[in-house]
Amino acid sequence: QVQLVQSGAEVKKPGASVKVSCKASGYTFTSYGISWVRQAPGQGLEWMGWISAYNGNTNYAQKLQGRVTMTTDTSTSTAYMELRSLRSDDTAVYYCARQLWFGEFFWFDPWGQGTLVTVSS
Amino acid sequence: SYVLTQPPSVSVAPGKTARITCGGNNIGSKSVHWYQQKPGQAPVLVIYYDSDRPSGIPERFSGSNSGNTATLTISRVEAGDEADYYCQVWDSSSDRGVFGGGTKLTVL
């Protein structure tokens, strides 16, 4: 079955970087994109950006431009999200999700199990 | 950027019908998708492309989209439907995803 398995929880200090992985299985990795979504404690879902696993094209949320980089390794069917210059308000659960589409419309299914990133001094 | 507005909470008695709205400017021209998230779990897609159900999602879940409002309808609500529900669209003008703020469904 289609599955996305993410790396484990991280604790980082302010100013540091974090890199979260998302290993896909059960489908042809390069046929779909991957979106990253985060959720701060007690808050809603925030879309962070997406990467095409076919050609590596990316698009990021405006508020994260310059701090986030999304990449893929097609040899291992793994997507990565790196966030730099971490602040306390980056504390959140980070999800990856396979991006499905019809025409110009995109949605997300399935999702990874989530990775808790805690930023604390 | 495109904004989606959801009511923070909706309450419904078991066996009744719950309706969760998602408002946006001319949202009827977009495709709306809905996710269910239970505490401590990842979101799960329950409706895509306005009204289609993924396999494994009960027929009690349905969706509609017209004008400035999309609606997720849950018929014959069960205790297990208690969760947060999020609507989502793709803003093709910016090539970015957009989520509503989420609605907490409480089963009385």
The predicted-structure confidence for A39-90, as pLDDT tens digits, reads as follows: 999 999 999 999 999 999 999 999 999 999 999 999 999 999 999 999 999 9
**Which of chain B's residues have a Cβ under 8 Å away from the Cβ of A95?**
42-43
Q: pLDDT band for position A104 (50/70/90)?
A: confident
Q: pLDDT band for position A103 (50/70/90)?
A: confident
pLDDT at A92 (0 to 100): 98
Rounded CA-CA distance A111/B99 in Å is: 15
Pairing of strands A18-25, B69-74: unpaired
The residue-averaged pLDDT of A98-110 equals: 90
- % of chain A at pLDDT higher than 90: 96
pLDDT at B50 (0 to 100): 96
pLDDT at A102 (0 to 100): 80
Pairing of strands A115-119, A10-12: parallel
For the record, the structure tokens of B107 come out as 């089963």
Q: Could you tell me if A53 and A32 are in contact, meaning their C-beta atoms sit under 8 angstroms apart?
A: yes
The residue-averaged pLDDT of B34-50 equals: 97
Rounded CA-CA distance B87/B36 in Å is: 9
**Which of chain B's residues have a Cβ under 8 Å away from the Cβ of A108?**
33, 35, 43, 45, 88, 97
**Which of chain B's residues have a Cβ under 8 Å away from the Cβ of A113?**
42
Pairing of strands A78-83, A18-25: antiparallel
For A78, A121, B10, the CA distances from A67, given in Å and listed in that order, are 20, 19, 37
Q: Does B15 touch chain A (CB under 8 A)?
A: no
Q: Does B35 touch chain A (CB under 8 A)?
A: yes
For A17, A96, A113, B14, B74, the CA distances from B47, given in Å and listed in that order, are 35, 19, 20, 21, 11
pLDDT at B68 (0 to 100): 98
Q: How many Cα atoms occupy the beta-carbon half-sphere of A50 within 13 Å?
A: 24
pLDDT at B107 (0 to 100): 97
Q: Could you tell me if A114 and B42 are in contact, meaning their C-beta atoms sit under 8 angstroms apart?
A: yes
Q: pLDDT band for position B73 (50/70/90)?
A: very high
pLDDT at B66 (0 to 100): 97
Helix, strand and coil in chain A, % to nearest 5: 5, 55, 35
For B71, B80, B82, the CA distances from B108, given in Å and listed in that order, are 21, 12, 9
Question: What's the gap in Å between the CA of A44 and the closest CA on chain B?
Answer: 6
Is the pLDDT confidence value at A101 over 90? no
Rounded CA-CA distance A4/A42 in Å is: 24
Question: What's the gap in Å between the CA of A76 and the closest CA on chain B?
Answer: 23
Is the pLDDT confidence value at B1 over 90? no
Rounded CA-CA distance A61/B97 in Å is: 8
**Which of chain A's residues have a Cβ under 8 Å away from the Cβ of B42?**
95, 110-114
Look at B45 and A37 and tell me if their CB atoms are within 8 Å. no
